[in-house]
Amino acid sequence: MVVENCPRSTPSTRCDGPRLSAQTAVVQKFTMFSVRIVTTSHYQAAPIQGLDTTTSEFRGSSVKRVPVLRIFGSTPAGQKTCMHIHGVFPYLYVPYDGTQPADRYLRQFAASLDKALNVANRSASANQQHVYKISIVSGM
């Protein structure tokens, strides 16, 4: 925290104690919680209405499970904390050469990725959907 000390009072100035600098005021406005991270983990959970996304427009279906990050740490005051952070989806970039129609390619890629993850999780016969959304980006 940056604190500016008041200059000595003069007849034209008044000092009511230390003042926060403009930079500190901005930091305080946007800093809601501070934690020193000790370790992290993640898990899948059923979506919570109003907190998590419950439908996938890409899939045209409801979302059965969502990723939740778990952060263990302590606050500057020494309090222990375990935060469960919702709304953070993992992502990756995959090259797309444009030789196939985009819509068909995206759906086919999602189905292939779902199948590979189901096989890796030893549930090859499952129809569990892991991919929430795929979109084409450019400029990289």
Residues 6 or more apart whose Cβ sits within 8 Å of residue 8: 15
In this structure, are residues 59 and 128 in contact, taking their beta carbons and an 8 Å threshold?
A: no
Going by pLDDT thresholds of 50, 70 and 90, the confidence category of residue 138 is confident
Residue 7, pLDDT score:
41
Three-class SS state of 113: helix
Q: Which of 7-16, 17-26, 120-129 has the lowest mean pLDDT?
A: 7-16
Q: Give mean pLDDT, residues 57-83.
A: 91
Residues 6 or more apart whose Cβ sits within 8 Å of residue 77: none
> 72-97 pLDDT, tens per residue?
999 988 999 999 999 898 888 888 88
- Cα–Cα distance measured from residue 42 to residue 67, given in angstroms and rounded to the nearest whole number: 7
Is pLDDT at 13 greater than 70 in this prediction? no
Residue 28, pLDDT score:
60
Residue 83, pLDDT score:
93
- Pick the most confident of 66-70, 87-91, 105-109, 128-132: 66-70
In this structure, are residues 52 and 66 in contact, taking their beta carbons and an 8 Å threshold?
A: yes
Dihedral, 69, 61, 93, 41 alpha carbons, nearest 10: 10
Report the chain's mean pLDDT, rounded to a whole number. Answer: 79
Query: What are the boundaries of each domain within the chain?
Result: 34-90, 91-140
Q: Give mean pLDDT, residues 92-110.
A: 88
